[in-house]
Structure 1
Amino acid sequence: MNRFEYARASDASEAVRWAAASGTRFLAGGTNLVDLLKENVERPVKVIDIRRLPLSAITNLDGGGLRIGALATNAETAYHADVRARYPLLSSAILAGASAQLRNAATNGGNLNQRTRCYYFYDTAAGCNKREPGSGCSAVGGVTRIHAILGASEACIATHPSDMCVALAALNATVRVQGPGGERLIPFADYHRLPGSDPARDNTLADGDLVVSIDLPAEDFTGHHTYLKLRDRLSYAFALVSVAAALRIDGSGRIEAGRVAMGGVAHKPWRLPEAEALLQGQTPSQALFLRVADRLLAGAQGRGGNDFKIELGRRAIVRALRQAAAGTPQSQSDKQVA
């Protein structure tokens, strides 16, 4: 671990002002940053402690939405009465991730901004354009079991590790950010980025930007939703493939609106509005769900070790949509896939 300056911010404006300098990192729960510091993957000049900022409230928005503070922990969010009642998909996705101890410490803002768990990103002896731009990507041609099948480039085939973010993508969340130029809103679809030729940048934040909250719109997907996570073991493992599915079904049994987002397959939560449009006005069926899966996975490319993710993803999408249509969400307590 390198030597760095430590400072504790007393308010958001102070944190933003300090963070405008290069080489700074925010510290909240520390469940990802501390590991990166220990492994010499992150080598900041200054660490800004934001844990005492008043950004942990979960409050109602005018119009029926919900605002979730960036410093609320994952556990506080998952078990909050309004989240469980109005956004059960989000609660389920959070509870599918990490362990109870980590969820008690990890914050919502940190979850959005966590770094990839690519083996080569953590191995400072390996080439990694995300960690050291221009050093190459050792994952290409390497061990690729956990790597991307969608949206990747020759510069980077890493995946985003979050479960929470997959649900937020499906729920059309908005990220509220305070920066040197003031406050702005970032639609969740625009928050994370694909690697392209610049994989070192995970998201669209600028220097000094501080995530202050996540806003959820007033949309009702409480009756038909599921978060399905497929992994190598039943607990404390990142997704090989995950699917957040949410449907709104009318009295005649037809789908009024549908959302499908995938995790474990790309550099960001993977969602295609044109695939979701196939659900509009249709009666739930195996054939329909297969068409949606094929559209979502169009262009998927394996790298040998992760070829299995393409068929696994296809089956996961269909299963998740069946669960959502039937109103039988995946249990995150026993974790057994019915």
Structure 2
Amino acid sequence: MDFKERLLTTMNHQEPDRVPVMGLMVNPSLVDKILNRETLNFVKLLKKPIIKHIIKFLVNREGFMNKQLAKNFGNCLQAAIKLGFDANWIMYQSMKMGKDYWYDINGRIWDITRYADGVLTSNYINGRLKTKRDWRDWIEENENWFQRNLKYLENFHKTLFERYKDKIFPITHIAPGPWENCWQPIGFERFTKYIYQDKAFLKEVVDFQTDYYLKMVEAVLRAGAELIAGCDDLGHKTGLLLRPKLIDELYGDCYRQVSEMVHSQNKKILWHSCGRIYKLLDYFIKWGFDGAITLEPTAGMDLGKVREQVGHDLVLVGNLDVSYLLVRGSKKEIEDEVKNCIRKAARGGGYILAPCHSHGHIDPTRLKWMIEAAHEFGQYPINV
């Protein structure tokens, strides 16, 4: 079986030749380590006024950034191929550089920092849109950017699908999703206030982001996506950010429309959420999602418990720890956890082994150990 048949067989809850292994690599520092390249000290360059001015000029030219994004995620796929993954996700995100911060198409503010050991990371800081007028003006003023973004999104995926389709399975990751695109540009405090004090405005925001997310799904389907990983971080370490019924009330229709659009093209959709999300899993099924990714173990997500709860109504993707295990765990610890995951979730198909997330401090050697263990112990029929 090749990687594509292995993934698609698994997505149909049938047993392939072995458990497929998916990478979630997006961080340049991790990718550069795998490809034996030196990571550019981007943060240091930005401290030099003349160079910062040049960088700002370049990154605000959409053509330049689109080529750079395709190159960066091409590197991610090359790194995944080198390690032996069957798949890795790819993600297009449109970002620009202001005077003192980065911002994206939805109005989030981002910070790009560099740890002492050289690892680069980007973090959501806040939203630019402090009032209802701010939000409405932003949507109106950036209408053309939103339209161009759909074309860029489609072309990004066409390029990578064509370039890597015979080498690895690129999984489309459309992130952030409708929930994050609603609250993050305006801030969580204001968002939750609108839930109780201005539902009409909140509906306006949700309707816009629902419509736009559906257009993004259409774009990647036109590009040839066969498996989509949607994304909304609805949980945290001990529970959910909103009550499950409230999430369903606000976003249930949106999520159902997304699933229906994907299924209308006979494709499949996984849904990513960090955090402790047991109370959402039945909703995932209700909303029509085909699988759940990445089932964060440090938030108490246990594969055996999840499989017991959902049966084979969801494909499960995950869930090796990236806080300790894949950073500094021993080879035996990694092998034992791979066997544990396979034992709990792989029988009958419907399981893809993967890290629970990605960051620059993950160790490439430990990823390799994970893949080797999956190849050794993940052969069907399962016997671990």
TM-score (norm 2): 0.27
The structure with the largest alpha-carbon Rg is 2
